[in-house]
Amino acid sequence: MTVIAEGYNAFETPKTATGTIKYLKDPASVMGLIKSGKLAEHILLVRGGTTTFLAPALTMGAIGVITMSGAPESHLGILSREFQIPCVMTAYLTGSSSRYVVGDPGDAHFAEIVAELEGKNVTLDCSDHDLGRVVLNA
Amino acid sequence: MSATGNAEYLKRWNDAGDEGLRFQNLEYIGNFKGMPGVPDGILGDRMMRERAKSGVLEKVTKEEVLKDEFTIDELNDLNNYLAWNIWDVLVMRATEGVSGMIPRQEYEILSFMQEFYRYPQFMRMMTDNLGAEGIMNIGASARKEIGTKINCVHDWCLGAVAFGMGRCGLLALEAIGPDDYVEESNIILKFMQRVLWGKRQDGYILNSQDRYRCQIHDQSIIDQVMGQTVDFEEGSEDFRRFTNFNATAELLAFFDHYDCRLGLGDTGPYPLPDGRLLIIRDLFVNEEVYHWSDVCDELPHCYTLAVIVDPDKFGLDEIRVNDISTTFTIPKNYIPGITGGAIFVRDKWDTPMGEVYPLKLTELEPHLEKIRTATVKMYDKTIRMPRRELLTNGIWSYYVDMLLPYLRKAGIWEEVNTPKYDYWEIDQRVANYYYEITKRNFVQVTVPQKIFSGEGYLPFSANADLRSSKYAWI
């Protein structure tokens, strides 16, 4: 098992989510994915932790979410729990020392994560109380 | 911590020495530099109360609440406690970053300041009209209603947001000094105390003082709700219908309130005779005063869910209904513990309780479809708006809604919603602060540092004058 990223686990669940990571950079890309009919094939990677940005994806059947900021107490953390969508929050790369800092725009940090994760086929392991894991599929 | 097996949550309530569990690995300092850090939860509440100089954080009598004003020590004790309480419920939200959708951090700090400047006038109007006891009765009305916005998040916002974070933001911006606006601070905090005391009726004002319980409803309301609940098994069709409705409606409730917790209202947990727990959850999916809520016109003001959980089923170790009306548990995933429920509809904010009606779980699909449609329409509407419009709407969502339920209940909403009072107008200073907060990275750096660390809630000095006032709105 190769864990390529970790972060806060929004809620513990034996349920896993498997798909190809897709970075959603703006609302248009959220709507584009929904209209493509391929929402259920992807683990959604987003920068911010707030709910509104992902609202249509959550209500239309997103299967898994990775955020680069935010925590289980945020609205997205709460909503992912209510929808039972596995969710790893404030994810960082296990192979990098770069970490999210509150208040720091951190563009390089986010860009590094997107470059490493986008397009990878992964499974979200959210069985731990605290730690959510992004596992690379063979 | 048990993942399964017998629940241990009752220790949190019944053992006087219990310190509760930690929901986060951080500690709070605030105005207590040089002293041990304060954790979250039950232990944190105890430590903050031990550090108080007055008795304002213990159970207080009605006579105490009816007094016209707090002393400086009481104001400072409330300031310190609210600062910790804000940290307790919101510090992890500081990790949230930007949404890519709504400039939430920007609108939040501006609305906090707007409330500090403008709420005292309207709170004084209500108190003049109804008297101190009348304000307490507004709070008490929450005991007999479901689907009411007179709830813990709105009540908490009156003090924690309008006074606490509003004053903190203005201090951080160096727009005011620590001993300014003492009279206005007193008006705000007295109003908050009266509403909350009237609602709880146990001498406390906040859920955190009562081990995070908000057991406020009269037994007649509990009986009415429980009379409509049905039991179901995890994974059954009814379970799926109920939990899916909960999630879908909650999402729209947040969205209609501009990604704000004002759309959600939990009370409880209410222990049931069979050992299970009842949470009563209001989801406000259509606030008619917002112009953007036109996409929700086909929906009622509120859906209320009776959520029944079996604590043994998921090994419940601690449950908190915190002061922003949100339920958190350890283990975090309470959904598999849901074993029953009911859903009610309140069409308008002032629909009489006798006209609130239940929905059968088999009748949910048309409602779900309307909720999903409204959510997508809201998204489509939102992404077309320029940043400044989103910001203004966000300020309104906080500033208007946090006081709206009390203005309505006091019977003066129609009066203040006229040109005479310009309720919707933004104070000129706050309008100007928009440029200040964007110039100095104030929102992304200073605000989290001051508000979420507790550093910015400067105490009133020993020389502060209770009569100190600078009231004006410009």
Name the pLDDT band for A49 (thresholds 50, 70, 90). Answer: low
Considering the entire predicted model, what is its pTM? 0.96
> Which of A59, A72, A103 faces B251 most closely, judged by CB atoms?
A59
Residues B92 and A72: beta-carbon distance below 8 Å: yes
Q: pLDDT for B48-104, tens place per residue? A: 999 999 999 999 999 999 999 999 999 999 999 999 999 999 887 767 777 778 888
Least confident of A16-20, A47-51, B26-30, B431-435: A47-51
Residue A70 has pLDDT above 60, yes or no: yes
CA separation for the pair B338, B329 (Å, rounded): 13
| Mean of the per-residue pLDDT values of chain B | 95
Q: pLDDT for B105-122, tens place per residue? A: 889 999 999 999 999 999
AA identity, residue B298: E
Residue B160 CB contacts under 8 Å (≥ 6 apart), including other chains: B82, B85, B86, B323
Name the pLDDT band for B123 (thresholds 50, 70, 90). Answer: very high
- Residue B181 CB-density burial (10 A; 0-12 exposed, 13-18 middle, 19+ buried): buried
CA separation for the pair B120, A41 (Å, rounded): 53
Chain A positions contacting chain B at CB under 8 Å are 9-13, 25-28, 31, 46-53, 55-56, 58-60, 68-75, 78-79, 81-84, 90, 100, 102-103, 105, 129
Residue B360 has pLDDT above 50, yes or no: yes
For residue B474, the model assigns a pLDDT of 81
Are A68 and B97 a contacting pair at CB < 8 A? yes
Mutation site for A-interface testing, chosen from B87, B88, B102, B251 by largest number of A Cβ within 10 Å? B251
B94 touches chain A (CB under 8 A): yes
Residue B5 has pLDDT above 70, yes or no: no
DSSP label at residue B429: H
Q: pLDDT for B177-233, tens place per residue? A: 999 999 999 999 999 999 999 999 999 999 999 999 999 999 999 999 999 999 999
Residue B90: closest C-alpha in chain A: A73
- The distance of Cα A63 from the centroid of its chain, to the nearest Å, equals 10
Residue B298 has pLDDT above 50, yes or no: yes
According to DSSP H, which parts of B22-103 are helical? 41-50, 62-66, 72-90
Which chain B residues are within 8 Å of A70, Cβ to Cβ?
Answer: 95-97
Residue A84: closest C-alpha in chain B: B335
A69: which 2 tokens? 């900021």
> Which of A49, A55, A58 faces B96 most closely, judged by CB atoms?
A49
User: In this structure, how many other beta carbons lie within 10 angstroms of the beta carbon of residue A80?
Assistant: 28
Residue linked to tokens 């349920």: A15
The kind and range of the H/E element at B230 are strand B230-231
For residue B91, the model assigns a pLDDT of 80
Residue B452 has pLDDT above 90, yes or no: no
For residue B445, the model assigns a pLDDT of 78
Backbone phi, then psi, for B327, in 5-degree steps? -95, 125
For residue B1, the model assigns a pLDDT of 38
Which chain B residues are within 8 Å of A78, Cβ to Cβ?
Answer: 250, 326
Which chain B residues are within 8 Å of A75, Cβ to Cβ?
Answer: 254, 259, 261
Residue B316 has pLDDT above 80, yes or no: yes
DSSP string computed for B127-166: HHHHHHHHHHHHHHGGGG-SS-S-SHHHHHIIIIIIIIIH
For residue A14, the model assigns a pLDDT of 96
Give the percent of chain B with pLDDT over 90.
88
Mean pLDDT for B313-337 is: 96
For residue B4, the model assigns a pLDDT of 45
Residue B263: closest C-alpha in chain A: A75
| Mean of the per-residue pLDDT values of chain A | 94
Q: pLDDT for A81-118, tens place per residue? A: 999 999 999 999 999 999 998 777 678 999 999 999 99
For residue B294, the model assigns a pLDDT of 98
CA distance B372 to chain A (A): 7
For residue A105, the model assigns a pLDDT of 67
Q: pLDDT for B15-64, tens place per residue? A: 999 999 999 989 999 999 999 999 999 999 999 999 999 999 999 999 99
Residues B92 and A71: beta-carbon distance below 8 Å: yes
Mutation site for A-interface testing, chosen from B2, B86, B93, B95 by largest number of A Cβ within 10 Å? B95
Give the percent of chain B with pLDDT over 70.
99
B445: which 2 tokens? 């750096």
Residue linked to tokens 């009306």: B325
For residue B3, the model assigns a pLDDT of 41
B230 touches chain A (CB under 8 A): no
Mean pLDDT for A21-34 is: 95
